[in-house]
Amino acid sequence: MIYSADRTRLYSPRDLITYLEGDFAAWCERRQAERDGTGSGEQWAIPDVDAELALLARKGDEHEQRYLTSLRGREPGLVELTRDSPAGDTLAAMRAGVPVIYQAHLSGADWHGYPDFLVRVPGPSTLGAHHYEAWDTKLALRAKPYFLIQLAAYAQLLEAIQGTRPAGIVFVLGDGTERRFSTHDYYFYYLQLKQSFLDFQTAWDEDGMPDPGLDRSWGRWSTFAKGLLAESDHLSLIAGISRGQVRRLEDAAITTLCALAASTIARVPRMSDAVLARLRTQAQLQLASRGKPRPIWKIREPDPEEPRRGLALLPPPSPGDIFFDMEGFPFAAEGLEYLWGAVTLEDGKPRFTDWWAHDSAEERRALE
């Protein structure tokens, strides 16, 4: 989200994706945009700088450039723009009917976006006997839901420009596969999400920060959110608690982890006694573990109605037991499982063995 020179808010598909993270992340992004839009030097929170996300972005750029290079050979009429190119340059290229437009700038009403590629397809539109559909490069090997939201937003922007909604949206995945989806299959969910997002923006209140404990993720505001939760001793800090259980405890006037750990309440409306007991025990263990190098733990008694759960699913111990794990680096070409490890028992004592793999040949030897 940005502000234009005339103080108009401009939304992008990325803002919708942030809204999918939760109300807290969306509120923080709006708060940051308001601060940037006024030129205020006020420092209210610092967004996370994630080294892994930075690496992911760099690898994504490299994937995009590889695909661009392949298109240059296949489509000599390709037009290359930049993020600084005005939206008018994109419109001129579309009207000229060029086969592919790189780094197009789509703009309409209060929305704008930058699909990686616009690809010309046959079919009538206000442009003539052709129109365009959006293609995006993605490092992933399969489409993720937010990819589809992003390209559905581009499809709507394209429809406003060319009078025709493109029938397809296409991802160029990390292995080079061009994966096509039907716009129609996802478009109406996108519209519903967009309306919910706009309602959220209309009701946005600078003094009405959403409760971060009611969201599962916080985008680039995770450190800020975790600090707020720790400061307030939020119930969501209890391992295994659900958002619904947080609300039911709050309705019963239990609003912090410490309060639940110390409570003697026998019943909470719309919560079973067993769940209340489990959450209270978990809160007590976490409270007692604070400041200790190793957490305090307790083996939960088996549920007589479900005896084969948790650790009870393990077979009886055997001298031949092997505990195995491997770590992978997905950003390497074709991926790389770089560390293989196994714990075995020798004379009753655990022994750890590791195999490192710095390339595919070593990975193969580690597997063998």
In order of start, what are the domains of the chain with their CATH numbers?
2-202 (3.90.320), 233-289 (1.10.150), 317-367 (no CATH)
261-279 tens-digit pLDDT: 999 999 999 999 999 999 9
Q: What is the mean pLDDT of residues 301-324?
A: 87
Which pLDDT score, from 0 to 100, does residue 95 have?
97
The two tokens of residue 84 are 């600084």
- Closest among 289, 239, 279 to 259, alpha carbons compared: 279
DSSP result, 124-140: EETTEEEEEEEEEE-SS
Predicted model pTM: 0.87
Question: pLDDT higher for 36 or 99?
Answer: 99
Q: What is the mean pLDDT of residues 6-12?
A: 87
Binned at pLDDT 50, 70 and 90, residue 227 comes out as very high
341-366 tens-digit pLDDT: 999 999 989 999 999 999 999 999 99
Q: Residue 182 forms beta bridges with which residues?
A: 168
Q: What is the mean pLDDT of residues 9-36?
A: 94
Q: What is the largest CA-CA distance in the chain?
A: 79
Binned at pLDDT 50, 70 and 90, residue 39 comes out as low
Burial state string for 160-194 with b = 16 or more CB within 10 A and e = fewer than 16 = ebbebbbebbbbbbbeeeeeebebeebbeebeebb
172-212 tens-digit pLDDT: 998 899 999 999 999 999 999 999 999 999 999 999 999 99
DSSP helix/strand/coil, 83: coil
Q: What is the mean pLDDT of residues 218-222?
A: 95
Instruction: Name the one residue in this structure whose structure tokens are 């009701």.
Output: 203
Phi, psi of 285 (to 5 degrees): -65, -45
Residues 6+ apart with CB under 8 A from 295: 285, 286, 289
